[in-house]
Structure 1
């Protein structure tokens, strides 16, 4: 069976209502292969999730940029998986490098978040990747394996997980990770499980 393509766009902490409407209009007019060939997922800031969900063409999907590790409560500023389900948002990005670095989210914490989100029926884009320093020291495989292992120890079914190899060293540097680099990691650590 041929592997289905996945195209995801994280809008991070950007945009106004008017800018979001323009982006959605452009996406809606775009020519894209059918949904049986490619999944297209966009991830606007949380405040724009309902707007994007209601105006984006139906074969495209919407993802939240994060969710909390357990049911809601006294977690100011966090979004629960239950809230996303209530908004009919099917996807969530977890383990993004910015959250790992700026908010000190550990591999284990990310693994717990992935497991919890899946338990609530969400699909997960699980980000893994190394810094430039880690890459130059030859630690890429160890770093990414540890990140992935923390998820694998908490889940057994990867059906609703997309592992996004996001090398931190490639973000905003002009250096690009090749598909071959991502495929190398997958083959070494997972063999043919994700063909």
Structure 2
């Protein structure tokens, strides 16, 4: 049985309470979306968004701390995300790795904390443009997978998102062959780390748009997408959701 498809939207540091109207439009247009739909808004919007959407779509955080509680000003514990209605949390996004110096070890610790709190961790991996040009992509992805996935990961509590750093927010996307190569490697690599590796959902992220979504979703081992800017507008994200449901 193929893994359940997932369309995940990462709002990053965008949006306010007025933007929640886009979610109303999205739900009205896609009441039975044909795949799982997830929005990861800024943390301050999680509670009002949950109150608004109920169980119509899943919600997630964009990061969590490795500790369950304590003197960590400005951080959010996985259990706190769970408490306000989150079911997922994005971890190890390239923007966190670059802007905050997050290592594979740190990502694995956060993923373990997410699992302990009952959240599904979306663990992000991806190469830089320099690493791609140097022919190091597969080695980089393999190392990030090995270092970022904690013990106890399963298809039920872990999703992997491939986001080539050079494609995020740039309008550039890898070729279908490049995406297929990386997703094939990830599926093979997971077999040594996760018992039910064939059921772990593998997402592609990096300038996913309505115009290229169908082509991307036709690639083997692409079980959905982690969408950035295009998830902010109901029409754009809705078109991506429709493409995934039809794939």
Fold-level match, TM-score > 0.5? yes
Residue 2 (structure 1) shift: 2.5
Scaled by the length of structure 2, what TM-score is found? 0.72
1:189 and 2:212 aligned: no
Alignment partner of 2:198: what SS? coil
- Within-5 A mapping of 1:113-152: 113-152=110-149
Aligned Cα root-mean-square deviation (Å): 1.9
Residue 158 (structure 1) shift: 3.6
Residue 82 (structure 1) shift: 1.6
1:18 and 2:15 aligned: no
Which segments of 5 or more consecutive residues in structure 2 lack a partner in the other structure?
Answer: 200-247
Task: Give the equivalent residue in structure 2 for 1:180.
Answer: 180
Tell me the matched-pair count.
192
Q: Is the 8 A contact 2:121 2:159 kept in 1?
A: yes
Residue 17 (structure 1) shift: 1.3
Q: Is the 8 A contact 1:115 1:151 kept in 2?
A: no
Of stretches 56-65 and 125-134 in structure 1, the one that deviates more from structure 2 is 56-65
Task: Write out per-residue CA displacement over residues 48-85 of structure 1, whole angstroms, 9 at most, x where no aligned residue.
Answer: 00111111252310001111011121111100012112
Which segments of 5 or more consecutive residues in structure 1 lack a partner in the other structure?
Answer: none
> Partners in 2 of 1:129 and 1:115 — Cα distance?
20
1:89 and 2:86 aligned: yes
Q: Is the 8 A contact 2:59 2:85 kept in 1?
A: no
1:78 and 2:63 aligned: no
1:2 and 2:2 aligned: yes
Scaled by the length of structure 1, what TM-score is found? 0.90
> Partners in 2 of 1:79 and 1:89 — Cα distance?
12
